[in-house]
Amino acid sequence: MRDQPDSSKRPARKRLTADDWADAALAALSEGGLGGVAVETLAARLGTTKGSFYWHFTNRDALVAAALARWEELSTERIIQAMEAAEPDPADRLRALLHGAIASATTDALEVRLLAAADHPDVTAALARVTERRVGYLAHLFELLGFPPPEARRRGLLAYTSYVGHAQLTQAVPGSVPADAGYLATVMTALLRR
């Protein structure tokens, strides 16, 4: 009779969570767009089976929705919370937000890929929510800096569209937008000018 392997000696496999799957979907989306989110490919990447996927999600659309919710949480809400907790000065908070956003735009194509997939209804809805939250937060910072609400909103929108344009150009034409501190200083000067 053949000896059976002792299962107690095998390392325990980490049980994957829905967030693990959502994070893997976001990575795939960043690399290959919405079409890159394929269950079998993600299962292989995560070292598991499709059964794990179906434990958490009913179908691919449910995974895409979870990934978009995860993106909203990580890329907007947690960043805003961290800024609120770490930086009391609204001008420094604005500068730190723009610096972080511009730095991430050069290395992460996720937001550009999401913009390219804006014809998907779930992506459209997520982009609308994130845009409103981000522009609203930026407008709030401009109000704290003394701008009246309508002007604060315009400046918040200008700051956000500057970031989106920067992200698009950085991904589409690498090297076309300066990556130095002088560029950010110029943007900040324009945004804060009365």
The verdict on domain 15-70 having CATH code 1.10.10.60 is: yes
Residue pLDDT, tens place only, 30-60 = 999 999 999 999 999 999 999 999 999 999 9
Q: List, by residue range, all CATH 1.10.10.60 domains of the chain.
A: 15-70
Residue pLDDT, tens place only, 74-110 = 999 999 999 999 999 999 999 999 989 888 888 889 9
DSSP the chain: -PPPP-GGGSPPPPPP-HHHHHHHHHHHHHHH-GGG--HHHHHHHHTS-HHHHHHH-SSHHHHHHHHHHHHHIIIIIHHHHHHHHH---HHHHHHHHHHHHHHHHHH--HHHHHHHTTTSHHHHHHHHHHHHHHHHHHHHHHHHTT--HHHHHHHHHHHHHHHHHHHHHHHHSTTSS--SHHHHHHHHHHHH--
